Amino acid sequence: MATAKILVVDDDPAVRNLVYRFLSKQNYEVESAEDGKSALANFEQLNPDLVVLDVNLPDANGYDLCKEMQARTGVFVLMLTSRSDEADKIRGFTEGADDYLTKPFSLGELEVRVGAILKRQRPVTTAEQQCLSFDSLEIDPVRREVTLAQEIVPLTALEFDLLHFLASHPGRVWRRAELIQKVWDYEYVGDQRVVDVHIGQIRKKIELDTTQPAMIQTVRGVGYKFEPPANAVASS
């Protein structure tokens, strides 16, 4: 498997150089940038698999940069920030970030988070290659595409993984902690409401009425389940 390419964007030279050196020692191909302008230039040249992106940059808003980069390639984004407020984290996830790491952080935690995100690039097995079809909703794990009534649904990488996982187990109820373990692929330390944020984003894109979601249903006091549309049968 090819070496993963990572772009580190942070205006603090101490943090940027530390992360750059650490990830380089993990045998990743790493480039770095100190502001939004150089970040986009390096992004075009490197075509990274993952961007470690600081929220506060001298010439750009990290959230806007996240959206712009993902609109180009669907790249994974790990937000890096000194902000610890819950509202900032929720905004980061709603803008498409795959994970969120608050400064100060340990290099060990960074390594785990980066590894977990990049695992989503792994080749899917034969069993996982089956296209899931529920009435007008189609989920293609090979192309990583979701269509609704033959229209492409613009999901982030993490939103796709979460929807695909739920739809692969129709009718089964999953607790938030279970979804984090299965989809995030590591022991997430933080508020489990991060699951609610992503579920909310998916619902906006596939549900006719988000106040009464039909497919991704909330099981009060437990978690979530995927309920196929009425009369729909899963097919490959």
Q: How far apart are CA 84 and CA 81, in angstroms?
A: 8
Instruction: Please give the radius of gyration of the chain, using alpha carbons only, rounded to the nearest integer.
Output: 18
The DSSP element (H or E) to which 110 belongs, if any, is helix 107-118
> 5-121 in CATH: which number?
3.40.50.2300
**Could you state, in chain order, the average pLDDT of each consecutive group of 10 residues for the chain (236 residues)?**
86 94 94 95 92 92 88 85 69 76 88 85 57 88 87 86 92 90 68 82 91 91 87 46
- DSSP single-letter state for residue 222: T
Residues in the chain: 236
Of 131, 94, 119, which is closest to residue 182 (Cα–Cα)?
119
Q: Where are the alpha helices (DSSP H) in 29-79?
A: 36-46, 62-73
pLDDT at residue 3 in the model? 85
The residues spanned by each domain of the chain are 5-121, 127-226
> 127-226 in CATH: which number?
1.10.10.10
pLDDT at residue 206 in the model? 92
